[in-house]
Structure 1
C-alpha cells in the first residue's frame, strides 16, 4: 500500500476500511472520514448508490444524508443503470460502516470522492461508488460524509 505523507485519517474510521480505501485510490494524498449520523451519532447505514453518488440511511434512527455533492446530481434517470440501487455485501447483507476517501489535488482541493463500505456482518470492504470533482472550491465536501 502506498502511503502519502499528507494522508489524513479521521477519528472513528475502521482500520480495515482506511487501509482498503488508501489502496483503492490513486497516489494523491487523501483525507479519509467516517460517516456519522447527525441525528443519533450512529455509524451503521443502509446505502443507496447510483451513477451520480450515494445516499445513506442510519440503521438506528432512519436519518438520511447524501454523501459529498451527491444531492446536486441525484437524478431519476440515473436509477436505470446496473450500478443503481441498494448496496449489498457479497454475503447478502446490507448494513455497513461507511467512510469516504477524498483524493486531493496539489492545491489541496478535492479531485475525487471514493465511498467505501465495510459490512457489519462479515467485515468485507469494498468501493461502491467513486466520482471525479471538476469544480472549486471544494472545502465544503470534506464535511459531507
Structure 2
C-alpha cells in the first residue's frame, strides 16, 4: 500500500511508501522523525508466527527484536554485523522501554532513501501496545552499497 498526502500536519513525500500493517500513528511519527528524503516504512512481523508485538534490544547502531508470541529473535536491517562487544564501545544494547513501564511494542522501520533509491538511514520506531506511546529508539546511517537487502530485514 502506498500512502500519499498529509497526516496530522506531517507532510508525506510523494515517493513515500508505507507497508500494509504499519499502525497509522507510528507511520506519522516516523515520517515526522526523518529528514525530507522519501522513505519506505515497513512493519516488523515475526517470520515464525506472524506476531507483531516484540521485546526490543537497542543501542545507537542497531536493534534486535524478540517476538512476544513465539520467542524467535531477528535483527533489524544490518544490526547483526555490529552486534558484538567490539562494536559497542560502551554502548551495550538495552531493553527498549516505554515511559509507562511496558516493554512490549509494535515496531516499524523507516528507510530513508537517497536519490538513486539506496538506503541512507535506518530509523526504528516503536509503539507501546499498552498506552500507544511512539518513539524513535534507534537511528543509524548506512554508508555502503548496495542496500536493497536491508528493505526486507525488518
1:1-44, CA deviations, whole angstroms, 9 ceiling, x for partnerless residues? 12110000000000000000000000000000000000000000
Q: Secondary structure at the match of 1:89?
A: coil
Residue correspondence of structure 1 range 63-102 to structure 2 within 5 A:
63-77=72-86, 78=88, 80-81=90-91, 84-102=93-111
Aligned length: 144
Aligned counterpart, 1:3: 12
Structural RMSD (CA): 1.1
State the 1:79 CA deviation: 7.2
Aligned counterpart, 2:45: 36
Bigger shift: residues 69-78 or 20-29? 69-78
- TM-score, length-normalised on structure 2? 0.91
Any conservation in 2 of the 1:52–1:75 contact (CA below 8 Å)?
A: no
Distance 2:74 2:114 in 1: 26
State the 1:51 CA deviation: 2.4
State the 1:55 CA deviation: 0.1
Aligned counterpart, 1:109: 118
Large movers: runs of 4+ above 3 Å:
none
State the 1:84 CA deviation: 3.1
State the 1:80 CA deviation: 3.2
Distance 2:122 2:19 in 1: 15
* Unpaired runs of at least 5, structure 2: 1-9
> Are 2:132 and 1:128 aligned?
no
Q: Secondary structure at the match of 1:111?
A: strand
Aligned counterpart, 2:27: 18
Distance 2:23 2:101 in 1: 21
* Unpaired runs of at least 5, structure 1: none
Distance 1:41 1:80 in 2: 34
